Chains A and B, each alone.
Chain A
């Protein structure tokens, strides 16, 4: 390996010459670099693509001996192997140069201007993406005209293990699994911001590469238009899997925006039939009412159990449940009798009965209570959630404090950008 580190743009276009030829006549030009396993944190470069008179030929990296005085790359042997197929491997120049990637650390969508490579113990690896002005200037040839000037331009590099490529055109080119693992490190709302910045085609591809749970978390933070565009691309099976993982209130909001045929088709694909029925009911409520905001994901318990028995039961059922800070006490007719907080439950004697401990003075809302009234009820009584009851005081669901806040905070003015530019803009959380 003749060099320690450098940028790929400095090697592209160089002549390839043979060590056996003393006059160093060019046998072709270096046009690309080839990676067989793009999934590694810092992928190893396996070879060079040399454009010879006979077409594009592959030269393994171990054949690179030196760089001669004129800057040509000296090869041990003439490259004879044909270029590896496009869809099984990654070509660094063709597939990555000038393309968009997600900077997982900086949490934004950027473009690759150049790639930094380094010799790590004998193997040549991609170590960083250059996304800054220095990379642009190097591509424009400033390193040839004024290398001292280029040295003074600050570099913006992203370590390759923080880069999530968004492949285009030919999705099999770059294995997206590495991208999805890196993207899953982001907070769901940050991931949603990034998805909102992508074109809807890219967004669908990125969401498609995520696991259901990560995709569902991100989906909850996306606005309705983006959700719908992505669903149209993912296909019903995958979309139903993701919807199944979403909180019921967010899933119902999403379904409510679809037309009836599409909604029915998606609901039919949801495996948990009970959950599908719940969603179907939730969709009927207007989005700016308690019914539209509520989730059916709450825990209810029997009044005649002891705290010890209830806690044991809770251990069994609660891991599936998001909100367990309030437990709702009901009999078999589902009528709400009282509420008990997790705190009360934990601090009470193990032998105490629930119906003695519970607060029977229930603050509740009706399904058609407006979002503002729900929020002010929660605020007035300092609640974490408020139950939604029907006329017969049967429990329909709960509205949690975070959903109530989301519903009443107005969208930022800056959200509304000119039509031309909106899709680039970072989207603030969308009020529901």
Chain B
């Protein structure tokens, strides 16, 4: 304020502590944000349609012995997610940007092509979930898929992303029904414990190896690392916030694994156990609605509806997020304009990639006779096959002092992650080999 008498403040009584009320509101917001942290949300997003189908079929087909792989997978998941979170907090850059800056155009292009292919395939798994849900109600997929495509377009372009995300996370509570249903099915808990902690490898069933690869691919999906790191960069978390971040990531991962384990248990206790007893007339799992039986101990005749709701929620959310985030990542790596509030003319690459990912994903499901369940699981197998490549890139970057400073990987994180690369890599190579041999 300027005055003729020189600088002099205007003195008034301060109004009752409004500022402290604002500060309190802020603290509540921080608390909410911490409980719904990026790690938690990413883990929930990992329970997409491909995940639900993979866990369900694994439980139905192989029983409780499909649980034990989840334990080493959980360890790897926590380590890998922590790495992505740390890279985001330390560098303030997304994984796609780091890969471009550290490895140049060629590797960035290869990575982005792989990511686009993989994510589009997974998008089709999401539409497969939507189609399966509609077919439970005898609605043709040729009506349901185009309708949901329109819904997703509208949601992405018009509705707040935060709102979509929150709605999804709340609706994801539906997966708790698997925990209840698994318990109500009265599984033989001794069998469950044995299946969880004693590793057994089924060498007779050729489908076993594929199931393992799909379990790895759906639990440690490559896109989840990109998603988590971007979320942390967007949140602006700093290395000083790493402890909270680690807690968030660990909680999210453990929760995701528990839900996954109970999806397997619920299916094993119903379908697998029934098939053991009725070998003559087994329940054959050929389409998605078959695995809805796993929810019958809880929901009875409403099992199908509950199941349909679950996969519809997962399918719609992931279909809304995946093509969009893929498009952002590609544009981030190559420096193209990317923002939903631009016009098509301003950001042509961004909108083209987004539309292409979404439409291709939906189109794959609309091929007449496309087997929805198998297609979904195949997309998770592809994720498992490409995971080692992503982990190698992450490992190289996270061990560079120039990028990470004192936040480079610890020895134990390196050992666990390299072990994951080698083991998953060997399984992936062997699986690919058996597939090629089988095809010949």
Contact = CB atoms under 8 A, between A and B. Distances in A.
Interface of A: 97-100, 108-113, 131, 136, 139-140, 168-170, 199-202, 225-226, 229, 232-233, 256-257, 259-260, 272, 274, 277-278, 281, 283-287, 291, 296-302, 313, 317-318, 320-321, 332, 334, 367-368, 390, 394-397, 412-426, 428
A109 to B, nearest CB: 8
Given A416-B162, A418-B164, A424-B332, A318 B2 contact: yes
B109 A140 contact: yes
A413 B158 contact: yes
Nearest to B108: A98
The 9 nearest A-B residue pairs measured at CB: A111-B335, A418-B161, A416-B160, A199-B92, A201-B92, A414-B341, A139-B105, A200-B236, A229-B236
Contacts of A112: 335
Given A140-B105, A169-B402, A396-B12, A421 B341 contact: no
Interface string B103-142: 0111011000000000000000000000000000000000
A297 B1 contact: yes
Given A283-B19, A416-B162, A111 B334 contact: yes
A320 B324 contact: no
Interface of B: 1-5, 7-10, 12, 14-15, 17-20, 22-23, 26, 38, 41, 91-93, 97, 100-101, 104-106, 108-109, 156, 158-165, 227, 230-231, 233-236, 238, 320-321, 324-325, 328, 331-332, 334-335, 337-342, 402-403
Nearest to A394: B10
A372 B50 CA distance: 49
Contacts of A170: 402
B51 to A, nearest CB: 19
> Residue among B18, B23, B236 with the most chain A CB within 10 A?
B236
22 contacts: A111-B334, A139-B106, A140-B105, A140-B106, A169-B402, A260-B20, A281-B10, A300-B1, A394-B10, A397-B10, A412-B341, A416-B160, A418-B164, A418-B320, A419-B162, A420-B230, A420-B328, A421-B324, A421-B328, A421-B338, A423-B233, A424-B332
Contact of B104 (A98, A277, A320): A98
Nearest to A301: B4
A291 B15 CA distance: 10
A345 to B, nearest CB: 15
Given A423-B233, A423-B236, 11 more contacts: A108-B337, A111-B335, A232-B238, A256-B19, A259-B23, A297-B1, A301-B4, A397-B10, A412-B341, A419-B41, A420-B161
B161 A421 contact: yes
Contacts of B328: 420-421, 424
Contacts of A286: 18, 22
Contacts of B161: 416-422
A257 B26 contact: yes
A135 B356 CA distance: 24
Given A257-B26, A417-B340, A420-B231, A136 B10 contact: no
A169 B321 CA distance: 31
Nearest to A258: B23
A278 B338 CA distance: 41
Nearest to B106: A140
Contact of A320 (B2, B234, B337): B2
B13 to A, nearest CB: 8
Contacts of A168: 91, 101
A99 B12 contact: no
A291 B340 CA distance: 35
Contacts of B4: 300-302, 313, 317
